[in-house]
Structure 1
């Protein structure tokens, strides 16, 4: 059976840097002492910049352009948010795909996999990419929907299975999330802190049997018992409503020691040189480091992506892997991401 490789990755973010604007906006949403607590915890989030398709308003924190969010006003409906996703997703995908070199390679693509949990429309992003980049009209299409932050690993797993069964396959994986379209009108501190993490971004990758890039060794998926309500993602009348419990880091830190042998297929943690952990937040990364007893610098790349971009849901772990590819350091690696369920997805790879 042919080996499978993640050949290359390209990324893109929208041009609007909104982290400061959101911090000011959310602090006004919080009430009384919660506003002070929000400011203190926002500083500890270790995020410097986040990007959005929404232009921040002026003065900073008073709303957004076009009145998409306004203090004291009705927040947009799900229909309005999906209309904005339909308008904004294609140009962001194009930016990543141009960097990937798809203009030259489009006709060679045999399969396309789209992962997203922040917007849905039909005909979808796959059809736009086919038309824009000249993909074959018989390209096989799959959408991985509503699997949250772990969906990139699910998409790469599908690409791996496809390429193992069809060695001549050339699979395009696109993870695109516009998380900032789903801010909720709330004064609850835990929800506001949850929204503090999220940002918009797109990552695209080519998976094939061509021996270039990261060699994909295998995948594993684990559902963590008695934690199914700790991460939820439901469609409401005013966008998609996320719950991210403060218990998630505690649950992961205690579950990971038992899950590690499964996720690493028997390999010891100390033998893994590259950890591409989805930076769901500083506390998530701290929990993984503690649960797996990792060296102090093991999650540096994940922490840097969190600082530069925040949490872009499914796209984020590909941002981490893209930096590892660019560094070109050889060694055994493991990518981890977590999502609704609570569940964990793992991908084992070898660089160099």
Structure 2
């Protein structure tokens, strides 16, 4: 029989600079007075109170630059090459902070596999090799980079970790989700783009997956791709950074996809058979759509809403912030995790808490 796979521990990390109110004011400053009022009203409904960035904000949100270093100057925001250089400096630091939170100690030398996900930056040598050097991992560790999949990449990372552990019960898999979303700030007067950017924060999670309980047992996975709606959420590399399209139609599309595929996602169970919900908080309206689609009680998504409130949307790292809360739950509970991203894609999984 194949071994079961368990998430043993999850550590979370964010940078030092809290930026939410600054970015709201900076974004509003790019709009005419009438549209500014609309923006402020809509942004105020987002359910976010704080977000964090690797880059210190400027002193004045209506001043000549968005950041203290003067890299994001009005009228002369950096191009993609400069942003990737910034990623190369910031991402390893935040990734190490996440892995250090696991307190691996002597376990670091026994890690057999390293999986890293990111969609906000690229470089080679990359995050995987940086982590080997910074965190004392074996040089021969088997490395896999999961790149540019967006917010649902963490669940794909867990899926791969489960395959590894089930094929090799001695494996110890380190999964790192590292995203520097604020790096892709845009200068624009498009209301929808500005509202989209008001969701994003930087964050990292690190998780240890092995065949040894206790922990969260990874039970099964199911993917849904709504090809007919693929243009509602896209993530493209442009000359001036990465460009996110996040249509206002996304919540309704997610609601429809979940309603039509509820049986496959939950293994034929009704929603009230699920004790724990680890839903990627892509935004308040996304969580509202999940709640409506599955007819959940308001308390069901409290962990997701709390992560959104405290950190915003950190792309692939976000659902793992929610999963970290699931590790605190009593043993014997059945849970469902899900994340959404470009495609329009929903990656879902079932899990159990095991003491």
Measured against the shorter chain, the TM-score band is: over 0.9
Q: Secondary structure at the match of 1:315?
A: helix
CA 1:289–1:329 in structure 2 vs 1: closer, same or farther (change >3 Å)?
A: farther
Any conservation in 1 of the 2:265–2:348 contact (CA below 8 Å)?
yes
Against the structure 1 CA distance between its residues 86 and 275, is the aligned structure 2 distance closer, same or farther, given a 3 Å change threshold?
same
The answer to which of 304-313 and 318-327 deviates more is 318-327
- Pairing 1:68–2:50 present: no
* Alpha-carbon distance, 1:225 to partner: 3.6
Shift of residue 253, structure 1, vs aligned partner: 1.2
* Residue correspondence of structure 1 range 287-306 to structure 2 within 5 A: 287-306=289-308
Matched, 1:15 2:22: no
Q: Is the 8 A contact 2:329 2:353 kept in 1?
A: no
Report the 3-state secondary structure (helix = DSSP H, G, I; strand = E; otherwise coil) of the residue aligned with 2:231.
Answer: coil
CA distance in 2, matches of 1:147, 1:256: 20
State the Cα deviation string for residues 312-335 of structure 1 (Å, max 9, x = none): 000000000101213446410000
Structure 2 unaligned blocks of 5 or more: none
The residue aligned with 1:29 is 30
Residues 76, 238 of structure 1: 8 Å contact kept: yes
Question: Where do residues 43-192 of structure 1 align in structure 2 (5 Å cutoff)?
Answer: 43-62=44-63, 63-71=66-74, 73-192=75-194
Q: How does 1:243-322 map onto structure 2 within 5 Å?
A: 243-322=245-324
For 2:213, what is the secondary structure of its paired residue? coil
Q: Secondary structure at the match of 1:59?
A: coil
Q: How many residues align?
A: 351
Displacement of 1:60 in angstroms is 3.6
Residues 117 and 178 of structure 2 are in contact (CA less than 8 Å); yes or no, is this contact kept in structure 1?
yes
Closer/same/farther in 2, CA of residues 152 and 61 from structure 1, 3 Å limit: farther
More moved, 58-67 vs 80-89: 58-67
For residues 32 and 7 of structure 2, the distance between their equivalents in structure 1, rounded to whole angstroms, comes to 47
Cross-structure match for 1:240: 242
| In structure 1, C-alpha distance between the alignment counterparts of 2:101 and 2:216, rounded to whole Å | 18
Please list the CA deviations of residues 160-179 of structure 1 after superposition, one character each: whole Å capped at 9, or x if unmatched: 11111111111000000000
TM-score in terms of structure 1 length? 0.97
CA distance in 2, matches of 1:31, 1:261: 47
- For 1:68 and 1:29, locate their aligned partners in 2 and report how far apart those are by CA, in whole Å: 17
Asked whether the 8 Å contact 1:14–1:200 carries over to 2, the reply is yes
Distance in 2 separating the partners of 1:199 and 1:327: 26
Between 1:61-70 and 1:102-111, the stretch displaced more is 61-70
Partners of 2:6 and 2:217 within 8 A in 1: yes
SS in 2 for 1:123: coil
Distance of 1:68 and 1:181 partners within structure 2: 11
Aligned-residue CA RMSD (Å)? 1.1
- 1:14 aligned counterpart, secondary structure: coil
SS state at 2:101 partner: helix
User: Which consecutive segments of 4 or more residues in structure 1 shift more than 6 A?
Assistant: none
Structure 1 residue 147, shift from structure 2 partner = 0.6
* Contact kept in structure 2, 1:21 and 1:61, CA below 8 Å: no
Distance 2:350 2:218 in 1: 6
Inter-partner Cα distance in structure 2 for 1:59 and 1:233: 30
C-alpha distance in 1 between matches for 2:134 and 2:108: 9
Report SS of the residue matched to 1:299: helix
Q: CA deviation at 1:8?
A: 0.7
Find the residue that maps to 1:66 and give its secondary structure: coil
Contact 2:100 2:135 in 1 (8 A): no
Q: Secondary structure at the match of 1:197?
A: coil
Q: CA deviation at 1:61?
A: 4.6
